[in-house]
Amino acid sequence: MFRIRTLIKSLYTIFDNNKRLRRDIISITGLKPRNINHYISALTHRSLANKRQNGSDRDNERLEYLGDAVLSAVMADYLFKRYPGSKEGFLTKMRSRLVNRENLSRIALRMEIDRLVMLNRSGIPTKKFIYGNALEALIGAIYIDRGYKKARKFIIGRIISSQADIDKIEGSEWDYKSRIIQWGQKNKQEISFESYELEKSGNPEPLFVATIHIMDTVAGEGFGYTKKEAQQLAARKALENLPS
């Protein structure tokens, strides 16, 4: 009788824990889990899984690998469409800055994924990237449980749009003008810009040209539909021409 009561109590505990986890997953992802076991695995660190029987099948490393691939694919597609005409180098830099371990860990903490991660807190040399890795594993779990479209919806809606600070990252990546001015101050070189609008010649939109001068020498030229864009492109050209 004692064993039966213990078993029933254990089953109730598991049910209650899974019920709470379902609520948390819905709150974080906006999606209803179909198979909660995928999410349990995604949130189980190997330090805890290795203490269990068949632990190798219960930790999140395989799901992390899968989630990393799905995240990279979605991010590449998103950036490709957001920045039409941008060079491969810019797109690669933007993607790497958005999905690097530090940024993913910050996003995971803001989403409060750290509350759900199950791990053996003793004997781990550093927990620096555990939560970012768990976020990738969660993406892998969503992909297996709900498919690519739902995983993409979660990444764009809950990570890129809400948490990724993409405008800030884009600004730091594109602010060539500030970077060339800082270079001039550091190297005691006078930096100046000249901008003017080109004659339309059949083009309905205004087109501007900007030149950047370093100590009265033209160092770069750029064209854009605004003065700011033209100056940024001229500054980028100048930076490319600077000795490394």
By the 10 Å C-beta count (0-12 exposed, 13-18 middle, 19+ buried), 170 is classed as middle
CA distance 28 to 46: 22
- Catalytic, out of 68, 145, 167, 229: 68
Token pair of 46 as six digits: 């190997």
- Catalytic, out of 59, 64, 136, 145: 136
Give the H/E segment covering residue 209: strand 208-214
> What letter does residue 194 receive in the DSSP assignment?
E
| Dihedral angle sign, alpha carbons of residues 37, 71, 161, 106 | positive
> What is the layout of strands, in order, in the sheet containing 208-214?
191-197, 208-214, 217-224
Interaxial angle between packed helices 88-99 and 101-110, expressed in degrees from 0 to 180 and rounded to the nearest 10 = 50
Instruction: Give which of 184, 198, 201, 191 is closest to 230, Cα–Cα.
Output: 198
As a residue count, the chain comes to: 244
Query: Is residue 136 annotated as a catalytic residue, yes or no?
Result: yes
Active site residues: 68, 136
